[in-house]
Amino acid sequence: MAKRRPVIITCAITGAIHTPSMSPHLPATSDAIVASAVAAGRAGATILHLHARDDETGKPDQSVEGFANIVPAIRAQTDAILNLTTGGSPYMSVAERVRPAAHFAPELASLNMGSMNMGLFPMLARHPELGGWEKQHLEGSRDLVFRNSYQDIAHVLDACRDNGTRFEFECYDTSHLYNLAHFADQGAVEPPFFVQTVFGLLGGIGAHPDDIAHMRRTAVRLFGDDLVWSALGAGAHQMRVAATVAAAGGHVRVGLEDSLWAGPGQLATSNADQVRMATSLIEGLGGLVSSADEARALLKLQTQKAFA
């Protein structure tokens, strides 16, 4: 009898793209982020991808203090793998973005593998009510390059190297896969390569099935058996991409960072709901959701250090 394939579900809890006024369900304070992350873990998420926010304004907060408000509390309540962002916000410097991962030494951290235009401004048409920093956050992206130079990438790798932290390599286009291959060829990163391909964000590759197939084909050619492939779809693409990728043998990422929606015109009420939707997809395709320990073995994560 064939074994059911374990599929990793990453849940991205809040991110730095959406703003609090877009949805009452977006966790935008430390307490809300903790509660939502713990609920997502209990719903079955294997990995929790974490950003922090300012408790007063809801702005992205990449300070060590901001993460200190969420990381220990989440860690105490779930065995899910914690994945700390080094992407932060595209408006931040790499030195600012890497501080939480360098300080907390998580099992896993995200790493953006190339610079790109990041167009958030189309969301203004759907949210004309936004004002203040929220409007500027979107409007400013008309002239925004999310910088992830080779020097920036090397800086993140060096800052986390002694911690034993491994990486989720976020690739928004084909060139980012080649950038990862470059660092692998230089011996700067070691397999397995947990590659998170990102589809449907303006400035990156689209979310057509041909785009997904192209990125998968390229990643397989570059990394072969060292590849652990996952993907996310932005906005309305989220569950379509998840279904396509899970059917093709990949792992999936969901969460309110990537999409505020549960269906056409229907806001998702929680991260846990999106995890349950992904679980239904995976099980319907004959798979099962990977446990955290199964993922730790697959990704060769080191024994977690105590968070400071």
306: confidence class by pLDDT, cuts 50, 70, 90 = very low
Q: How many residues are recorded in the chain?
A: 308
Let me know: does 234 contact 199? Beta carbons within 8 Å: yes
Q: Are the beta carbons of 244 and 213 closer than 8 angstroms? A: no
In the DSSP assignment, the letter for residue 202 is B
Using CA atoms of 296, 211, 204, 195 in order, give the dihedral in degrees to the nearest 10.
10
The residues spanned by each domain of the chain are 6-299
* 128-184 confidence digits (pLDDT tens): 999 999 999 999 999 999 999 999 999 999 999 999 999 999 999 999 999 999 999
pLDDT in tens, 79-108: 999 999 999 999 999 999 999 999 999 999
DSSP letter, residue 92 = S
- Written as one letter, the residue type at 205 is I
CATH class given for the domain over 6-299: alpha beta
> What percentage of the chain reaches a pLDDT higher than 70?
97
Reported as a pLDDT band with limits 50, 70 and 90, residue 303 is low
Distance, in Å, from the CA atom of 24 to the CA atom of 274, rounded to the nearest integer, reads: 16
